[in-house]
Amino acid sequence: MPKVLDGAVIASEIKQEVAAEVKRLAARGVRPGLAAVLVGQVPASQIYVKSKVQACADLGLFSDLITPAETVTTEEMLALIATLNARDDIDGILVQLPLPKQVDAKLLLDAIDPAKDVDGFHPVNAGRLQAGRPALAPCTPAGVIEILKRSGIPIAGANAVVVGRSDIVGKPAAMLLLHENATVTICHSKTRDLGAVTRQADILVAAIGRPGFITPEMVKPGATVIDVGINRIETREEFDRFFKGNEKREAAFTKRGSVIVGDVHPKAFEVAGAYTPVPGGVGLLTIAMLMANTVRAAKMRRGL
């Protein structure tokens, strides 16, 4: 049986470490602070931001939830970011995406002080990450590395294949694996004979944003499979493609009208030696790593 890499357990470990570090900083008169900016009334974003604010409260961090109106302009948002950049009680700035169409998201994210860019999206942090210099790394890729390390999966010398080349997950995940001395290949939808490449992977990271894209024949027997994807399945046809005969998922689908599947077909996990489930895997690390990044930003800003 393949080993299940439990994201909940690892996220809990990281949060406990963050809480302990927050206490140590408090003894020195420092309380890390996170500003969360949520524009409009998107229900999924509201739930996600609320969980981030709650995590701050649970771990002892200061948080400031700022909710501009749906009609906010790019200029008004830039003024808000400038204010947050100048606030000494704010160490991390999080702008929840997506933003309304009238707001230039790229311009806005680039305006965040790189020292407070706890999402790790700023070009300065991307450059520092590539150069192997101290940087705030994107939370999801950083979570991938934590899962591998804390699960005792050897990275140095391993063949790692990352399927997906986004600036948010694919590219930084590849760079972090490279810094851990893996031999890294980045693939994407245009890669020729993709299965021939993925079958060489000791560590396979799926981050392409397509439900069940990685099939069993694409996985090397015994490989570690890290599934970053979160895709909502809402039709019976799609459900049967992935979960036909799965009573637990059937019950959830009947109750909610949808279920979540990753970028890896569930049958592919049976070939693996270890894997992250969806849900219950990488997604749970994202908020934990955001908290860790906020504490790291607080320390870096103060030379600690």
pLDDT at 221: 98
- Interval 203-254: pLDDT, tens: 999 999 999 999 999 999 999 999 999 999 999 999 999 999 999 999 999 9
Residue 52 appears among annotated catalytic residues: yes
Q: Among residues 96, 116, 117, 263, which one is catalytic?
A: 96
CATH 3.20.20.70 at 139-285, yes or no: no
Choices 3.40.50.2000, 3.50.50.60, 3.40.50.300, 3.40.50.10860: CATH for 27-114: 3.40.50.10860
Q: What is the mean pLDDT of residues 14-27?
A: 97
pTM for this model (two decimals): 0.93
Q: Measuring CA to CA, which residue among 233, 223, 231 is closest to residue 270?
A: 223
* Radius of gyration for the chain, computed over Cα atoms and rounded to the nearest angstrom: 20
Residue 220 appears among annotated catalytic residues: no
pLDDT at 45: 85
Q: Among residues 52, 116, 171, 220, which one is catalytic?
A: 52
Residue 44: pLDDT band (50, 70, 90) is: confident
pLDDT at 38: 95
- Interval 272-286: pLDDT, tens: 999 999 999 999 999
Q: Residue 304 above 90 pLDDT?
A: no
Q: Residue 40 above 90 pLDDT?
A: no
Q: Among residues 119, 202, 227, 263, which one is catalytic?
A: 119
- Interval 131-155: pLDDT, tens: 999 899 999 999 999 999 999 999 9
Q: Where in the chain is the domain with CATH 3.40.50.720?
A: 139-285
Q: Where in the chain is the domain with CATH 3.40.50.10860?
A: 27-114
Residue 200 appears among annotated catalytic residues: no
